[in-house]
Structure 1
Amino acid sequence: MEPLTQPIGRHGRTRVVLSLTPLIDVVFILLVFFMLVSQFARWQVIDVTPVSAGEGTGSGKPPIVLVMETGGMIVIGGDRVETPASALDLVMARRTEGQSVLIRPAADVAVQPVVDLVETLAAGGITAVSVEAGPQP
């Protein structure tokens, strides 16, 4: 182990030698600590009622069916839209009081687009939303 002081020049002055290894260790430990305690995503609960094919919604009126295709398109009664906001506009134009909305995602649609659509519908005041369970493997 090298000494903490080293003589400099002819007059015997000494220079303190500092090692950066402990400082780097402390910075790394702090980095790991803050990465572990930080919350990167906002978690929340979304109420979704899973229904199976042919199951009624209970209101007596047929639900408005939104079919989510693999490419991101949403089909509502033959009309195709690209964004959840456009789908909300169509649903609001066609929906009657008490009518529910049924989301039918294709088998290979990711979960996040379905969640985005449910959140957009909820933000628009539509809370009677069901998601149809796809075919089980």
Structure 2
Amino acid sequence: MKSIRYSRSRRSGKSEINMTPLIDMVFILLIFFIVTTSFVRESGVEVQRPSAQSAETKEKANVILGITADGQIFIEGRPLDIRSIRAYMERFLAEMPEGSVVIVADKNSVTGIAVQVLDQCRLAGVKNISLAARKS
């Protein structure tokens, strides 16, 4: 009888919780959410958009090109030359073939620059291009 009691009391010592599977699961969930999250690229410049009565809300825009009143073009907070827009858009389409572009031009900007930006995006192969406006 003593040997049975001794073995039971010896087994009921401290128990440990193995944290490794829990940490692995948390990292797998973190990687899943990072991969499935779509990142929005901002133009990085504040512009005054013109107003339009027919303006509609666009749910998803992958790249936003900003055109300031003095004609500077911005993508993701970086100034960009008109000649490098086509190459940037081709790289963007290689990463995201169904991507969309929104051109946010200041209401006092020159229309010719917005048309050139639009033309460069189309030459790069972007199919879904929009111009941003405020709903009036």
TM-score in terms of structure 1 length: 0.50
Tell me the residue number matched to 1:118: 118
Contact in 2 for aligned 1:51/1:131 (Cα 8 Å)? no
The structure, 1 or 2, with the larger RCO (C-alpha pairs under 8 Å, 6+ apart) is 2
Change (3 A) 1:79 1:94: farther
Describe the superposition over 1:82-106 as per-residue Cα deviations: whole angstroms up to 9, x where unpaired: 21x3122223323411010000001
Deviation of 1:79 (Å) = 1.6
Structure 2 gaps of 5+ residues are: 1-53
Displaced runs of 4+ in structure 1, greater than 3 A? Answer: none
Describe the superposition over 1:51-96 as per-residue Cα deviations: whole angstroms up to 9, x where unpaired: 54xx225xxx53200001122211101121121x312222332341
Task: Determine what percentage of the aligned residue pairs are the same residue.
Answer: 17
Contact in 1 for aligned 2:66/2:103 (Cα 8 Å)? yes
Structure 1 segment 1-137 matched on structure 2, within 5 A: 51-52=55-56, 55-57=57-59, 61-83=60-82, 85-95=83-93, 96-134=96-134
Rounded Cα–Cα distance in structure 2 between residues aligned with 1:134 and 1:86: 28
TM-score in terms of structure 2 length: 0.51
Rounded Cα–Cα distance in structure 2 between residues aligned with 1:135 and 1:75: 23
Rounded Cα–Cα distance in structure 1 between residues aligned with 2:66 and 2:135: 14
Rounded Cα–Cα distance in structure 2 between residues aligned with 1:51 and 1:112: 21
Amino acid at match of 2:61: P
Change (3 A) 1:121 1:102: same
Deviation of 1:112 (Å) = 1.4
